[in-house]
Amino acid sequence: MSWQATILTLFPEMFPGPLGLSLAGKALGGGVWSCQTHDLRQHGLGRHRAVDDTPFGGGAGMVIRADVVDAALSAIQAPEGAPRVFLTPRGRPLRQQDVSRYAQGPGVVLLCGRFEGVDERVLEARGIEQVSIGDYVLSGGETAALVLLDACVRLLPGVMGSDESGVEESFSDGLLEYPHYTRPASWDGRDVPEVLLSGNHAAIAAWRQKQAEEITRERRPDLWSAWLDRRERNEAAAG
Ligand code: ADE
């Protein structure tokens, strides 16, 4: 059984989009995963197939109706146990561990909103997780859904070129990755760090670890303190 992405959206033409190309596209063509879109408009009400209405309590923008989302959820055929995810800047931040959990399951159902949001009741009643891809506001959930899918699909068995490139990468150990260099060894007056040319694998590993730690401390104090806490706990557990 292939990993199945089911997407509820007002813009089904946005999928698979860039995920129809490159490694993800090859895996899509090869049946490693599938991408099924479902147009929310099909479940809209009245002559205009309205999917949204004005917010109770007033305020700007429109809210997608609970009954419309519910009808769409009833109409799709998603694998049993596939998590339901609403992409919203109000959600909890998407992390590599979430991506890994999604990729290990049968697939995901993604709800993409436009306008101000979706009626909170259907999110609660139908067990829909709320997830954000970052602290900025996109014009809709579709591009966020593409980001989430890209992150999942590359983890599916057989999608990535070499298995190792999935192990040694940013976030897998809680640190940002060390910097990379290739030929020429000297470019524009800048030399590659000498240790990388030494052939001393232990020294190279130590240098890379130190770089990863320094870069994380500087760029991501949040990840750095979490990493320090984890190291402290591990050391205490080891005695
Ligand atoms: N929809 C609009 N902005 C978003 C964000 N930052 N993450 C997820 N979905 C969104």
Q: Do domains 3-153 and 168-238 have the same CATH topology?
A: no
Confidence category of residue 37, pLDDT binned at 50, 70, 90 = very high
| pTM across the whole model | 0.94
Instruction: Choose one of 88, 98, 136 to mutate for the ligand 1 pocket test, by most ligand atoms within 8 angstroms of C-beta.
Output: 88
Other residues' Cβ atoms within 10 Å of the Cβ of residue 87:
26
pLDDT per residue over 79-137, tens digit each?
999 999 999 999 999 999 999 999 999 999 999 998 789 999 999 999 999 999 999 99
Domain boundaries, the chain: 3-153, 168-238
Confidence category of residue 171, pLDDT binned at 50, 70, 90 = confident
Q: Which residues pair with 38 in a beta bridge?
A: 8
Contact between 35 and 19 under an 8 Å Cβ cutoff? The reply is yes
Complex ipTM more than 0.95, yes or no: yes
Which residues participate in the annotated binding site for S-adenosyl-L-methionine?
113, 133-138
- Closest residue by Cα to residue 12 from 37, 30, 32: 37
Instruction: Give me the architecture of the 168-238 domain, per CATH.
Output: Orthogonal Bundle (1.10)
Rounded distance between C-alpha atoms, residue 179 and residue 221, angstroms? 18
Residues near ligand 1 (Cβ within 6 A): 87-89, 132-134, 136-138, 141, 144
Q: Is the confidence at residue 166, as pLDDT, over 80?
A: no
Confidence category of residue 59, pLDDT binned at 50, 70, 90 = very high
Contact between 124 and 86 under an 8 Å Cβ cutoff? The reply is no
Contact between 180 and 208 under an 8 Å Cβ cutoff? The reply is no
Instruction: Say whether domain 3-153 belongs to CATH 3.40.1280.10.
Output: yes
